[in-house]
Structure 1
Amino acid sequence: MNRAAVVAGIGSCLPARSVSNAELTTRLDTTDEWIRSRTGISTRRYADQGSATSDLAVGAGAQALKSAGQTSVDVVVVATTTPDRPCPGTAPLVASQLGMTGVAAFDVAAVCTGFLYGLANAAGLIAAGTASSALVIGAETFSSILNPDDRATSVIFGDGAGAVVLRAGDPEEAGALGPCDLGSDGEGQDLITVRAGGSRQRLSGKAPEPGDEYFSMAGKEVFWRAVRRMTESCRAVLDATGTAIGEVDALVGHQANQRILASLADSLGLPRERCLGNLAEVGNTAAASIPLALDHAHANGELRAGQRVLLTAFGGGLTWGSTVLTWPVLSRA
């Protein structure tokens, strides 16, 4: 029998500290109206001093395990751009903190596409019979790499974590992940990046330029690349499953920018009201954005069992990816 990876549980975790647009205007040359009109964001969460990405990942993972009625899995995957340390990976610590010692655990680094790359990795391990269950977490503390004086990035990004539990099951049952379409283009590596801190900079023999230790993004150049790549990727998984765009009940795209999400829906020919998300409340949480949006939509009733759901993301690398599934019946932790 063909084995599929089936969504069995979901959870999320947000830091307590809420940072409003009004707070940002006290130190940046911007206004609440400017931020809302260009991004769709009104507030975001920042992790407190002394906390780390792993703390948020553990919180989301614990909720997802409880939702699935499980205490352990065979594999833990953490998708993050902001690991606790450059070495080792964050996933083994997260697994240990969740009471799982001896399980496989590894990080995925694909920036905002990280959660979908993590899903694809975990689904492949389940399909191959290497694992029967997996915990896939997207977790970020982007506030730790933002330049506080950079209006272009500081108003967009926030911290948070979201997670799903996958189990082995039948490809035809609700919750089974469809085919995953993944892609990359390394020629665009400088469009979304942190230039300092890696081997390229450390072995250059030169000190980093001021500001290179912070995250940077060429927003205008990223915009249309994101829309085009996500559109192509969505069409690929819809074609692979024989799903017409009119059969898609909900589109959950990476929560990057409201204008990107609207343009994506228009490009696909999908009514904008079928785009689900929580961008206004939490901002762009990179690898955490899709599972966070899924958990919140599930909790508030926007996402219901039996709905056909299309997931898609675009991020640094450049990377992109999509998958499709029928939303299952899930308990709430």
Structure 2
Amino acid sequence: MPTTVDIPPGLSFPTSGPDLVAPEPEHCPGPDSKQAGKMDACAGCPNQTICSTAPKGPDPDLPPIQARLSQIRHKLLILSGKGGVGKSTFTTLLSQSFSLSHPYHQIGLMDIDICGPSLPKMLGVEHEKIHTSSSGLSPVYVSDNLSVMSIQFMLPNQHDAVIWRGPKKNGLIKQFLRDVDWGELDFLIIDTPPGTSDEHLSVVTLLKQSGIDGAILVTTPQEVSLLDVRKEFDFCRKAGVKVLGIVENMSGFICPNCETKSEIFTATTGGGEGLARSLGVEFLGRVPLDPRIGVACDYGESVFEAYPESQAVKALEEIVGKVRRKVVGEEEGMEEE
């Protein structure tokens, strides 16, 4: 039977905002707003009394968060509207490709998929534990220029379920941003859970002052996935987050023996490229299904080092190049190279 997981002693953290009894409605002014519980949109909301009586004022944790993140040049969100599209796998491969293709860059990877932290497994560091020092929490290093932070490192048992409500999740995200000693980073890549819920609102709100370079939306070719990605795009629009582009994952199956491509998920409405065109954002590329990627992630190995000739690896390298040019800029990128 799953247990409610508590953070081990020495890693306590604050909650973030009042403990709401229902999700915030679309036009909610925000629990911390001076108008919380008093606007027309608050009428009939189960949280109205909670919000109207909660303490108001600026979050005292925002200045230290901004100071900590001042050492990070670029921040990227990886989003998907639904689960099962390979978002965490793509995030893992994207960060590995960044670190390998640009060894002079320092890459940080933050896993805020609190109920399903899979990045440590895919990176081969699932049994590591984080350490504390006078400068904060130390991330786990996968390589000389790639580090990762995840709740997985805090669990007493790797199979424990994390059964938390929103405020406790938000508090952990706040601690990751405020207390983790990333050092100087060129890129902080943030892997989020599916949907548009507590974790997404928290990270966008907390990163607002220090700046978010943009989000990458991950989808698969079929319409059922594109439907939810449209909602993710709408979330970004309402939250003021720039969408850097769309990636179509699982775009055909590549046979590892003969390199023949077969369509597993048919793009009935134009796939990721058609969606990008309709939304007016860049289509960053297609990453085909390759069973060797799944095996590499299961064993925490690098598919880039094991199968550098695979089409999936080449596709990922092209996507990294596009993302880097959009974020860093052509001239700065040429100077660094």
Alignment TM-score, normalising by the size of structure 2: 0.33
Structure number with larger C-alpha Rg: 2
Report which of the two has the higher share of strand: 1
Greater RCO (CA < 8 Å, at least 6 residues apart): 1
Q: TM-score, normalised by structure 1?
A: 0.33
